[in-house]
Amino acid sequence: MRALVAVVDGDRRAVELIHEGIEVVGVLAPEALALLARDDLAEPDASQALRALADADVVILTVDRTHTDVAVVALCDRARTRIVPFAATADDLRTAEALGLESPLAPDVPVWRLCEVLAAEPVSAAAAPSTTGPAVIAVWGPAGAPGRSTVAVGLALELARGGRRTALVDADTAAPSQALSLSLPDEGPGFAAACRSAERGALDAAELTRIALPLGDTGVEVLTGLNRPSRWPELSAARVGAALSACRGWVDHVVVDVAAPLERDEEIVSDLEDGPRRNAATVAALQAADLVVAVGSADPVGIARYLRGHAELRAIVGSTRVVSLINRVRPGVLGIDARGQVRRALDRFGGIEDVWFLPHDGRSADAALLAARPLGLVAPRSGVTLGIRRFVGEAVLPPTPTGPAGADAPTRRVRAARRRRPERAALPTRG
């Protein structure tokens, strides 16, 4: 067992662990990993810290809301290093829980107890991330900017936690925005180049890795979208389908951000049987998806648009599962029981029961846009970030059912519990 110590009074802890037979590969300040994740740790300290992290089996880390965030967890995940957290206050405990860390220990925990925890299997405060689940997840929403791109980035970040290989694809031919909002160059090859290579049969994992751009240290690979919407003919249905098929063997999960329009009537008026279709990329991505996350805005106009578009969406995807994720929930435009009103409207007019919610958090969204970084990194304790995390853990990658009743019984019990206690299905409204 090799341990990296990054706690308050780390030298004393290191001596205690050495006396108990634990090999200590290094001692860092509690904030060192956060600085390392942000590339703010000066050389040669950064190189030394990276080597120690790579050599360690476990890092003993003091958790606090200032220096511990998603980037630190992602850094340790990429090094395949387990985190044993220390938490001194209730706020620190909530931070550890929000980040999905195992149950924290008190800073004054006896060394014998710490050694027991190091030797035991990790017990997480949340369910362990699954490496199974839908390979291709399409994120769609009607016109009116309901938050498709923000949700797509959030899903990719959460799916990448725990070492899952994840890609974010911008297949929006109407208003591509991922490169601009994430401060990535939009002059590179991106998804259009992947589609051209797929048409020639030359797209494989190595080529995708070459084309993709890493999203910082999050572990997410990004295939950027078109830098001009007028280039939409490059994303034909055949090309998009072949590219997404190649992506299945490249990463564990592919999150595809698609455009709002779903109309296919141009096939009737076109003089060319095999001519380009304006919405071909969106339709092809939806048909290739294993799961469709349909994003709507929680206001009267947004819900009306969502209901009209949902019927067209169902006609395109057939039996593919569609999960409704209603964004920007707030009482101002829908009254006190905003969630209840949305549930009743979707059930009554669309027969939609699988509904999840994200709260309105304009301040965090503005901060993410200003910093040109994902909202999950700028505001890891935002209600939106925590809501997407719970959505991924319970709706996208639910825990594997176990027990004598078989795989379907736990699902039925969970759904029954939601019908009896609908408020338990609601996502957090603030960070």
* Cα separation, 95 vs 87, whole angstroms: 9
pLDDT for residue 428:
46
**CATH fold for the domain made of 2-119:** Rossmann fold (3.40.50)
Q: Judging by DSSP bridges, how do beta strands 213-214 and 220-223 pair with one another? A: antiparallel
Residue 423 has pLDDT above 80, yes or no: no
pLDDT digits (tens, 9 = 90+) for 95-104: 887 777 888 8
pLDDT digits (tens, 9 = 90+) for 119-162: 886 655 444 444 578 999 999 999 999 999 999 999 999 999 87
For the chain, give the percent of residues with pLDDT over 70.
Answer: 86
pLDDT for residue 122:
64
Confidence class of residue 187 from pLDDT cuts 50, 70 and 90? confident
Highest mean pLDDT among 38-52, 71-85, 189-203, 396-410: 189-203
* Cα separation, 283 vs 301, whole angstroms: 24
Indicate the DSSP class of residue 423.
G
Is the CB of residue 40 less than 8 Å from the CB of residue 62?
A: no
Question: pTM of the full predicted structure?
Answer: 0.64
Which string of b and e fits 401-423 if b means at least 16 CB within 10 Å? eeeeeeeeebeeeeeeebeeeee
Q: Any idea what the Cα angle at residue 412 is, between residues 406 and 414, rounded to 5°?
A: 110
Q: Which helix (H) or strand (E) holds 267?
A: helix 266-269
pLDDT digits (tens, 9 = 90+) for 238-287: 999 999 999 999 999 999 999 999 987 555 555 555 567 889 999 999 99
Residue 220 has pLDDT above 80, yes or no: yes
Confidence class of residue 54 from pLDDT cuts 50, 70 and 90? confident
Task: Tell me if domain 2-119 and domain 136-172+214-221+250-271+289-425 are identical in fold.
Answer: yes
Confidence class of residue 365 from pLDDT cuts 50, 70 and 90? very high
How many CA atoms does the CB half-sphere of 66 hold within 13 Å? 4
pLDDT for residue 419:
42
pLDDT for residue 121:
66
Mean pLDDT of 323-345: 90
Is the CB of residue 61 less than 8 Å from the CB of residue 30?
A: yes
pLDDT, the chain, mean? 84
Indicate the DSSP class of residue 232.
G
Architecture of domain 136-172+214-221+250-271+289-425: 3-Layer(aba) Sandwich (3.40)
For the chain, give the percent of residues with pLDDT over 90.
Answer: 52
Is the CB of residue 87 less than 8 Å from the CB of residue 75?
A: no
Residue closest to 52 by CA, chosen among 33, 71, 73, 30: 33
Domain ranges, ordered by start, for the chain: 2-119, 136-172+214-221+250-271+289-425
Backbone angles phi, psi at 8, to 5 degrees: -65, 140
The residue whose two tokens read 């991505």 is 285
DSSP secondary structure string for all residues of 195-230: HHHHHTT---HHHHHHH-EE-TTSSEEEE---SSGG
